Amino acid sequence: MDIQLSIQQLTKRYQTGEGVTGISLDVRKGELITLLGPSGCGKTTVLRSIGGFLDPDSGEILIEGKSVLKAPPEKRPTSMVFQGYNLWPHMTVFDNLAFGLKIRKTKKAEIDKAIEDVLELVRLPGAERKYPGELSGGQQQRVAVARSLLLKPAVLLLDEPFSALDAKLRHEMREELREIQAETGLTMVFVTHDQEEALSISDRIVVMNQGNIEQIASPQEIYDEPRTLFVSQFIGKMNFLRGVIAGNQVTVGECRFPNSKDLSGNVRVAIRPEDVLIHGREDRGLAGVIKQVMVLGHYAEVSIDLTGYGPIRSFQPRDLVKDLHSGQQVKTSFKKALAYPEN
């Protein structure tokens, strides 16, 4: 498949010490890739470097095989959707959308048709004559996305575009963005610190930490096989227990797992809450006492204090926790576990 965007050994360091070092990433044509990580990890630095709003210290950025490093933002085949909507309040939706096309000297008939089509695409038909102040936050963000789509960029850049919206609207906008991407075949680079957002919309996720890439993989692989301890801590909920390698197996008490990474000595063992099984006190497993049972819609979260290991969480189907209660003694085992070197 064609490589639409290639970042090669990108380095940009600020006086504070923050920034990125040696970032390399290829994005395929029509792919939606997400840069995910905590604040200050460098994801926005990478995005702004692609868009031309930052000059890297070193490295190369190619779009459709051509270097864009020397080009200013307006000359790059990119378009950016920002966190703020950046709409002109004194101009109608039509004029906000037409502005970039007029600069490109597009014919009026073409502008009219393009704006009608793009408003249909972002589910705002007939909104041309409204002003931004008459629109909700979600509608304003749709207009901001539409404005970027009109420029027909080779790569659409999105910098936490939904973070100002409430949870329900954020969810809807994510679904709509995915539909737009599928319909247009646009290549998108999306920045977020929200792991649920990244897992739900991405073809691939780039997990960043302290200016470096920790892992690049599909959402499924990132969740099921986090490569590093940081990724396992950052993506989804996870229990961590002390383990040790014995007889080339990872052991946590009497629980045994394959030592697939050839680790030795003491290890951190990571277990997803949905992989924690709860048994009767007469069964085999690690002994513990139930601290709390919380029903959270279609599933329940059971907190257990494991003897000698401390608290862990288990996610259980709601109908399986009817007989569980605080203070109850139980045994636990694990469907699967991941091990990492002890830091």
Residues 207-231 pLDDT 10s: 999 999 999 999 999 999 999 999 9
- According to the model, what pLDDT value does residue 71 have? 93
Q: Report DSSP state, residue 124.
A: -
Distance CA 161, CA 159 (A): 5
Neighbouring residues of 246: CB distance < 8 A, sequence distance ≥ 6 = none
- Domains, the chain, in order of start with CATH, read 3-231 (3.40.50.300), 237-341 (2.40.50.100)
pLDDT of residue 231: 96
Decide if 100 contacts 178 (C-beta within 8 A).
no
Q: What's the confidence (pLDDT) of residue 1?
A: 58
* Token reading at 253: 């008490």
Q: What is the pLDDT of residues 271-326, one digit of tens each?
A: 999 999 999 888 888 999 999 999 988 899 999 999 999 999 999 998 888 888 99
Contact 129, 93 (CB under 8 A): yes
Edge-first strand order for the sheet with 19-28 is 19-28, 3-13, 58-63, 66-67
The pLDDT value recorded for residue 128 is: 84
- Are 132 and 85 a contacting pair, CB within 8 Å? yes
The vertex-27 CA angle with 23 and 28, nearest 5°, equals: 160
In Å, how far are 41, 188, 279 from 178, measured between CA atoms? 25, 10, 41
Q: Which DSSP letter does residue 218 get?
A: -
Cα–Cα dist 259/339, whole Å: 8
Helix (H), strand (E) at residue 46: helix 43-51
Q: What is the CA radius of gyration of the chain?
A: 24
Q: How far apart are CA 188 and CA 84, in angstroms?
A: 18
Q: How many CB atoms lie within 10 A of CB 312?
A: 21
Looking at residue 204, what is its pLDDT? 97
Which stretches in the chain have pLDDT values below 50? none
The torsion angle over the Cα atoms of residues 65, 66, 68 and 73, rounded to 10 degrees, is -80
Q: How far apart are CA 246 and CA 249, in angstroms?
A: 5
Triad 313, 314, 317: Cα angle to 5°: 145
Question: Residue 36: what pLDDT?
Answer: 95
Q: CB-hemisphere CA count at 13 Å for 160?
A: 16
So what's the pLDDT on residue 172?
81
Q: Is 3 exposed, middle or buried (0-12, 13-18, 19+ CB in 10 A)?
A: middle
Give the model's pLDDT for residue 7.
97
What are the helix (H) ranges across 82-213?
Answer: 93-103, 108-121, 137-150, 167-184, 195-201
Length, in residues, of the chain: 343
Instruction: Enumerate the β-bridge partners of residue 212.
Output: 209
- Beta-strand ranges (E) seen in the chain are 3-13, 19-28, 32-36, 58-63, 66-67, 78-81, 155-159, 187-192, 204-209, 212-217, 239-246, 249-252, 255-258, 266-271, 276-279, 286-296, 299-306, 310-317, 329-334, 338-341
